[in-house]
Amino acid sequence: MVDSSRSREGPPAQELARALAERISWEREIGASGYRPGTAPAVKAEAAAAGPGGDPEARLRDLREEIGDCTRCPLHAGRNKIVFGEGDAAARLVFVGEGPGRDEDISGLPFVGAAGQLLTKIIEAIGLTREQVFICNIVKCRPPNNRDPEPAESGTCGPFMLRQLEIIRPRVVVALGRPSAQYLLDTDQPIGRLRGMFHDAHGTKIMPTYHPAYLLRNPSGKRAVWEDMKKVRDELGLPGAR
């Protein structure tokens, strides 16, 4: 049966209104203002389409095929779906979390649960959409009970994420949470000391910040994340940059 509440062009007005209200509420909370998602100029990497090695979309597809039905580390035993990551293969901005959670394990998509919805608001607060960035994790299979990945698991799966970065060649990588920041920066420093500044690593600029799941438990951290994201916005030259 056809859903008559849904127009042929997209989601019904009620859904759009609710999404807009949620985003405005987030912007009010963090003190952001101004830009509508998707109104930022194109954020494709300058040389992306014909960068070294060829078409990044095709190279990401090849990498996904290479990973296959992976059993390289113990995390394969409890997974439903490998969460490869999704987004623009030529994005200038990549988000890296630590690993899939329950909703991601079921759907095979990154950041689709409550933390994912908050990440979407964070992305939209700097004038971008999820489709304009790339989102992935250090490990591609869900750790049991959402624990942090073990060093051996990160050491086995992390290189696939690093190859994704090599292919996409983003200008900025936002490391979401301590395990991601510590892996990308090869350090054991706490996230509170790492966040708020760019670090040069893996041929790009890394901005560590708090994980959206942490913000759900500690809303007072949203202000710090917004400060970090304004630096990312400025580095990318997006509208609102100083």
Residues that bind ligand SF4 (CB under 6 A): 67, 70-73, 75-76, 82, 139-141, 153, 156-157
Q: Which of residues 75 and 125 has its CB atom nearest to ligand SF4 in the complex?
A: 75
Q: How far is the CB of 85 from ligand SF4 (least distance, A)?
A: 11
Q: How far is the CB of 208 from ligand SF4 (least distance, A)?
A: 22
Q: Going edge to edge, which strands form the sheet with 134-137?
A: 86-87, 134-137, 93-97, 172-176, 204-209, 199-201
Distance CA 118, CA 113 (A): 9
Q: Which of residues 19 and 63 has its CB atom nearest to ligand SF4 in the complex?
A: 63
Q: How far is the CB of 138 from ligand SF4 (least distance, A)?
A: 9
Q: How far is the CB of 84 from ligand SF4 (least distance, A)?
A: 8
Q: Which of residues 2 and 77 has its CB atom nearest to ligand SF4 in the complex?
A: 77
Q: How far is the CB of 139 from ligand SF4 (least distance, A)?
A: 4
Q: Which of residues 140 and 169 has its CB atom nearest to ligand SF4 in the complex?
A: 140
Q: How far is the CB of 41 from ligand SF4 (least distance, A)?
A: 35
What phi and psi, each to the nearest 5 degrees, are found at residue 206? -105, 125
Furthest-apart CA atoms within the chain: distance in Å: 55
Q: Which of residues 140 and 178 has its CB atom nearest to ligand SF4 in the complex?
A: 140
Q: How far is the CB of 149 from ligand SF4 (least distance, A)?
A: 8
Q: Which of residues 35 and 84 has its CB atom nearest to ligand SF4 in the complex?
A: 84
Q: Which of residues 117 and 156 has its CB atom nearest to ligand SF4 in the complex?
A: 156
